[in-house]
């Protein structure tokens, strides 16, 4: 544990930053488009269009985090269910998985609290209500099934694309596109979480725990099911690494990759990128 903390604490902090940033973005765009206190809701009367715009904003946010220098370093899981999936696949060490999850929960809560402080009542009051994820009119059963299926779907895509020699660098784009589509079309069923830490962050800040068990179980079960499906449809079933983007110039605590040493032309000393 101590060795993991000493060596990998930057990646843990990055995971906290990543989900915190995602939550701040979710709060800002949801408030902008859904709060009756702001003029955008009146200007865009169609709720489906507003939801699609939120989805587009959050998809771009996810892509930006994944391909950012910090996101490239930690792997940009932003989600305990993703980390647990790679733990099961043997691509994340146990202590790293624990500290990733703790960082994700902490970062998510801090992100929502920053949004409460900076945005105020338009974010905390209904209908935005801390951007909480709660079941839609179809009920808890439909929400659970929807969360299970979308979580399974996104993990299947992540595994398939990240392990494709041709398309691996597009993993973040595919994930961001699915986030956008899920918010646009699935959100009326469950609020579109796929992420226990994301749901916990809004619930903890707002004190609303309506059917919270759905969002702590369905994403994990869905992504674990994706592992089984991937192993059955992929002949080798091999998984390269736990990073969503794996650039050559950044170390990887998951697979042990270190950037190749190079010689600095000015000093003649061996350095790394």
Q: What is the pLDDT of residues 169-178, one digit of tens each?
A: 999 999 999 9
Give residue-wise pLDDT tens across range 189-215: 999 999 999 999 999 999 989 999 999
Helix 140-162 crosses helix 212-233 at what angle (to 10 degrees)? 40
Q: How far apart are CA 170 and CA 94, in angstroms?
A: 27
Q: How far apart are CA 91 and CA 104, in angstroms?
A: 18
- Per-residue confidence band for 261, with pLDDT thresholds at 50, 70 and 90: low
Task: For residue 271, list its beta bridge partners.
Answer: 262
What is the pLDDT, as a whole number, of residue 269? 42
Q: How far apart are CA 70 and CA 63, in angstroms?
A: 12
Helix, strand, coil abundance in the chain, percent, nearest 5? 70, 0, 30
- Per-residue confidence band for 265, with pLDDT thresholds at 50, 70 and 90: very low
Who wins on pLDDT, 234 or 84? Answer: 84
Six-digit token pair at 157? 């895509």
What is the pLDDT, as a whole number, of residue 172? 96
267 pLDDT exceeds 70?
Answer: no
For residues 122-140, give the mean pLDDT. Answer: 96
- Per-residue confidence band for 2, with pLDDT thresholds at 50, 70 and 90: confident
Instruction: Spell 91-118 as b/e; 16+ CB within 10 A means b.
Output: bbbeebbbbbbebbbbbbbbbbbebbee
Please report, for the chain, the start and end positions of each structural domain, with discontinuous segments joined by +: 2-272
Give residue-wise pLDDT tens across range 84-111: 999 999 999 999 999 999 999 999 999 9
Half-sphere exposure of 179 (CA within 13 A, CB side): 25
Q: Residue 149 to residues 206, 226, 243: CA-CA distances in angstroms?
A: 27, 9, 22
Q: How far apart are CA 16 and CA 113, in angstroms?
A: 13
What is the pLDDT, as a whole number, of residue 235? 74
Contact 118, 205 (CB under 8 A): no
CATH architecture classification, 2-272: Up-down Bundle (1.20)
268 pLDDT exceeds 70?
Answer: no
Q: How far apart are CA 191 and CA 215, in angstroms?
A: 10
The pairs formed by 84-89 with CB atoms below 8 angstroms and a separation of 24 or more are 84/220, 84/223, 84/224, 85/155, 85/223, 85/224, 85/226, 85/227, 86/239, 86/242, 86/254, 88/224, 88/227, 89/227, 89/239, 89/242
Give residue-wise pLDDT tens across range 38-94: 999 999 999 999 999 999 999 999 999 999 999 999 999 999 999 999 999 999 999
Query: Mean pLDDT in the chain?
Result: 93
First-to-last alpha carbon distance for the chain, in angstroms, is 28
Q: How much is the pTM?
A: 0.92
């Amino acid at each position: 544990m101590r060795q993991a903390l000493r060596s990998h604490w930057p990646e843990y902090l990055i995971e906290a930053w990543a989900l915190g940033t995602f939550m701040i973005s979710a709060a800002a765009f949801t408030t902008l488009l859904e709060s009756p206190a702001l003029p955008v809701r009146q200007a865009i009367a169609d709720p489906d269009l507003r939801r699609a715009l939120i989805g587009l904003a959050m998809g771009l946010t996810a892509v930006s985090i994944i391909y950012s220098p910090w996101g490239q370093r930690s792997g940009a899981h932003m989600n305990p269910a993703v980390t647990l999936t790679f733990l099961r696949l043997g691509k994340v060490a146990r202590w790293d998985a624990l500290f990733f999850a703790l960082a994700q929960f902490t970062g998510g809560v801090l992100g929502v609290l920053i949004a409460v402080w900076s945005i105020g009542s338009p974010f905390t009051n209904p209908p935005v209500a801390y951007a909480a994820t709660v079941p839609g009119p179809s009920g808890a059963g439909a929400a659970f099934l929807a969360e299970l299926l979308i979580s399974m779907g996104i993990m299947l895509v992540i595994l398939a694309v990240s392990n494709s020699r041709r398309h691996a660098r597009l993993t973040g784009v595919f994930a961001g596109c699915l986030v956008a589509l899920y918010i646009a079309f699935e959100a009326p069923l469950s609020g579109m979480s796929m992420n226990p830490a994301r749901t916990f962050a809004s619930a903890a800040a707002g004190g609303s725990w309506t059917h919270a068990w759905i969002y702590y179980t369905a994403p994990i079960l869905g992504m674990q099911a994706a592992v089984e499906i991937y192993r059955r449809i992929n002949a080798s079933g091999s998984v390269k690494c736990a990073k969503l983007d794996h650039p050559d110039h950044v170390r990887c605590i998951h697979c042990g990759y270190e950037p190749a040493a190079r010689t600095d032309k000015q000093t003649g000393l061996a350095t790394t990128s």
